[in-house]
Amino acid sequence: MLSKNQIKQIHSLRLRKFREESGRFTAEGNKLVMDLLESRFRISGIYALREWIDANSYAINRKNAPVFEINSAEMNRISQLSTPSPVLAVFEITTPSPDQEVRNLKWTLALDDISDPGNMGTIIRIADWFGVEVVLCSENCVELYNPKVVQATMGSIARVKVIYCNLRNALEGYVKSGDGQIYGAFLEGNSIYNDDLIKPGIVLIGNESRGISADLEQLVTRKIFIPSYGDAKGGKAESLNASVATAIICAEFRRKMI
């Protein structure tokens, strides 16, 4: 049975302040927890129903993970999901440093103040799908360990390295270190379908409402845009959602690279 104190501690991890103080975050659902168990993240505790523990004893033992068996009523008390899953786990936060990573990148994403947790999680999932190993985030992006971000990654948080940093410094360093491009997603510029967009580079995605900040725009070496069908026939949406635009750009770059 869970103690009041345990419930209180798990609850506290809904708030950034307590996540930062304790260096821990929560993840829920079988796939997400299993993906994280197999990753570089260290497990702090697993809270699960009997059936889940029985079915996953091999993975639990191999990681030497502290397990607490709870019942459905207790799960309902600690879960943030509208339909609670059989497992909630607490992991330790890791904070990768940008220094070494950025220089050797061939193909990555940089996010300028992405604020919506759903977008952030979805972009990490897209990165994973398209083999983008590192995602750079400006310091004002929504926090990676926000439970809504964690859940929206659908497990990809276990594989993609997400680095918060001074994006201006990181991009400047990248430009100086080689001949990689910095592609900025705008509503004008070079169509992503242009055939010469095949050089390695960083794709910079702007904030959902403000777009790419003026500060970073100066560092962009190629402005790119996604043509709307309206260019030929009359579509009228003014823009695409940030994660949707990221997906279309990644898919097109990938198509050209293989």
**Can you give the binding site for its own copies, defined by CB under 8 A?**
31, 118, 122, 125-126, 128-132, 154-156, 159, 193, 226-230, 232-241, 243-244, 247-248, 251-252, 254-255, 258
Residue 57 or 209 with smaller CB distance to its own copies: 209
Please list the residues that pair with 46 across neighbouring strands: 67, 89
User: In whole angstroms, how close is the CB of 81 to its own copies at the nearest point?
Assistant: 13
Distances 13 to 8, 25, 126, 138 between C-alpha atoms, Å: 9, 6, 26, 23
Residue 165 or 201 with smaller CB distance to its own copies: 201
User: In whole angstroms, how close is the CB of 39 to its own copies at the nearest point?
Assistant: 11
Which ranges of 178-241 would DSSP assign to H, the alpha helix? 214-217, 230-233
User: In whole angstroms, how close is the CB of 127 to its own copies at the nearest point?
Assistant: 8
Which ranges of 2-144 would DSSP assign to H, the alpha helix? 4-12, 16-22, 30-37, 50-55, 57-62, 72-78, 98-103, 117-129
Q: Are 202 and 174 in contact (CB under 8 A)?
A: yes
Residues ≥6 apart with Cβ < 8 Å to 207? 112, 113, 114, 115, 213, 242
Residue 15 or 61 with smaller CB distance to its own copies: 15
Residue 44 or 80 with smaller CB distance to its own copies: 80
Residue 159 or 161 with smaller CB distance to its own copies: 159
User: In whole angstroms, how close is the CB of 190 to its own copies at the nearest point?
Assistant: 14
User: In whole angstroms, how close is the CB of 229 to its own copies at the nearest point?
Assistant: 3
